[in-house]
Every structure is written in C-alpha cells, then in structure tokens.
Chain A
Amino acid sequence: MPIYAPKSHLYESVTLDAAKARLTHSSRKSVYEALNLVAYIDMMTMLVIFLLMSFSATGEFLFIQKNITMPDAQNWSSLERAPVIGVSKDVVTLDGVQVAAMEELSKDSATGDAKISELYEKLVVLKNNYKLLHPTDQFNGIAIIQADKGVEFKALKKVMYSAATAGYNNVNFAVNAWSKGGGAAPTE
C-alpha cells in the first residue's frame, strides 16, 4: 500500500474552484477594511469642547457695523440692552437709522447749541416708550455709544450732550473685550 503525505481531505468532493476556495477560507482578502476612527473622534471631541467654551447663550445686543472699528479694553463689563448710537467717521445712527452726518457735527453750531436735534427727539421718543411699557420700572438712562476709534471728542461730546439732555445720562462705550490673560473677568 503506497504511503501518501498527509493533507487535508475536506471538501475534496467539491469540484468548483470558487466554491471550494470559499469553503476552505482560502479566498482573497475582503475588499472591506475597518477604518481607525479613534483619531477622528478625538479631533471632533476637541473641536466640540473648544466651541462649547466660546459659546454664548446671552444673545447679541450689538452688531459690528462695517465702517466702525471699535477700540479694545481690558476692564470691561457685559453689555445691557439699551439704545445703540453708532458714531462712524461719516454718520451718526440710532439703532441703525441715520440721525446726523459727521460734517454737521464737525462744524461749530451758529447758535452755540451742541444738541443733535434728530437724535435728541428720537431718544426722547424711546424714553417715553420705555416709561409707557414699563410703568413700574425706574428708567435707568443707559445708552450705548458704538464709536469708531478715530472719531474726535468734538463729535462725541455732541452725541453725549444730546443723549444727556434726552435723559440718557449713563453712557456706555462699546469696546472689543480684550485681555492679557486670555479670559477677562467682567468688572461687575
């Protein structure tokens, strides 16, 4: 009786090569490859943490106007809802509506009155509206001045004077919150 070297006898009866290869697990490697997602998930988690840290749920009281570059300040407070007077190098606006041109403000008034009449009238209307809508609350007289870095005090004081005569004595200047330490604490 001849002696044969030992070999596998399984599936010898299957003649079809493809089926035999499948059954004996000797087929080619699968084209599917598992992706290593660990690095991707790490990156996404870091991104989510960073974005959550810079997330603000208070909403925006103020929007950056295209022709106004605001100055930076370290000792800032959080914004409150109040009428916003924009002072750019060209125009003065109240809540986005033009109330005066800068050319008028640069001139010395013939009557000596520094008041900007349109701004004054609109602020008085806003003050009266507030008092009508909030009869029990005390009027705080806060107005926000969002002025450009390069605006001169001459124009600014006319805006402030108009606000003060209309009853807005507490003027807040809008600034870019900036801090040396990378996380300024509000002064209030």
Chain B
Amino acid sequence: MGVSIQGGGKGGRKSLNADLNLVPYIDLLTCMVAFLLITAVWTQLARLSAAQKGQGQAGEETPPELQLKIVVVVNQEGFNVVVGQDQTPIPKKGTEYDFERLGAELKKAKDAHPDKNDVQVASEDQVVFDTLIRTMDTALSSRFADISLVDSGAAGI
C-alpha cells in the first residue's frame, strides 16, 4: 500500500519515479462528498427579533411622554417616519414602498440621536408580512438594534 516502486530501470537500477496509490484517497473523498451532500444546508434560516411593547409599559424608568419616540408607521400610502414631534411621510413609488428613502430618513434620525437604539414599527392591518420584515430590516441596517412591532393604533401617533 502507499507507494509502489517499479523496477526495471536502465542498467538494472531501480527507477526513481514512483506511482502513488490513489485508491484510498479517492475512496475517502467519495465518502466525504456523499456525507456532505446528505447533510448540506442549502437554505439558511435565521430570525429577526422584535419585541412587543405598548405605551407606558411597566418597568420603564422615564415617563413615556418624556422619552423621544422614533416610530415608523407603515400604511397603504407608504411610510411615515415620526421622530418626536416631527413627521416625514414617505409615499410609495408607484406600487412599491420606498425602502431606500426610509433607510436614509432613519439614518438621519440615528445621526441626530446616536444614543437612541429603539424604534417602533407601527403597522396597519392590511400591510403584508414581507413589507414589515423589510421595514424592520431597513431599521436594523440604520443601526437601530431594538425593534418593536406594534399596531398603528397602539403607537399613539
């Protein structure tokens, strides 16, 4: 096993060229490929965290009216980014939500309030799940790590 050295070189000397026995190596590779193909993960599933918070939740140290709230309202017309008392409506681009502009507005809000990590996503009943996930994903991309998903009625806008 391993190396077979052929004799019969010129002048009766043994040849220096050797053929490797590759059969065990090919066996090993074939077994590994079969095992890895069976256990391969083709679709990676993950999660997005979202808390459920209402107004004036127990345990909050600062009264809710004194806290600066950043809320993204998602409705049939588009988004409405609410930072404290300022509201920035972001209408849809045709039939599509304008996530690019939402990201820009949220980045602006983050730059203005760098200590603020929480944002509320307030949704209307008819908004589909995909839009909510993309909204939360955009908020996470804008460095808001703490996201809560609430009903638009409960957001108090």
Which residues of chain A have a CB within 8 Å of any CB of chain B? 34, 37, 40-41, 44-45, 47-48, 51-52, 54-56, 60-62, 64, 70-80, 87, 144, 147-154, 156-157, 160, 164, 169-177, 186-187
Contact = CB atoms under 8 A, between A and B. Distances in A.
Interface string B34-51: 001101111111111111
A148 B46 contact: no
A175 B45 CA distance: 6
A77 B125 contact: no
A144 B128 CA distance: 18
Interface string B131-157: 011101100110001000101000000
Interface stretch (B23-31, B86-94, B105-113): B23-31
Given A55-B36, A160-B149, A41 B29 contact: yes
Contacts, number: 144
A71 B22 contact: no
A64 to B, nearest CB: 6
B125 A153 contact: yes
A40 B26 contact: yes
B52 A175 contact: no
B151 A187 contact: no
Contacts of A172: 47-50
B95 interface: no
Contact of B48 (A52, A55, A77, A157): A77
A170 B29 CA distance: 44
Interface residues of B, number: 42
B22 to A, nearest CB: 5
Interface of B: 19, 22, 25-26, 29-30, 32-33, 36-37, 39-52, 123-130, 132-134, 136-137, 140-141, 145, 149, 151
Nearest to B133: A71
Given A37-B26, A71-B130, A173-B48, 5 more contacts: A55-B39, A75-B137, A75-B140, A76-B47, A153-B132
A37 B27 CA distance: 13
The DSSP consensus for interface residues of chain A is mixed
Contacts of A76: 46-48
B128 A54 contact: no
A153 B124 contact: yes
Given A144-B47, A172-B47, A74 B137 contact: yes
A151 B129 contact: yes
A97 to B, nearest CB: 20
B53 to A, nearest CB: 9
Nearest to B151: A157
B49 A151 contact: no
A175 B129 contact: no
Given A55-B40, A174-B47, A187-B140, A152 B29 contact: no
B25 A64 contact: no
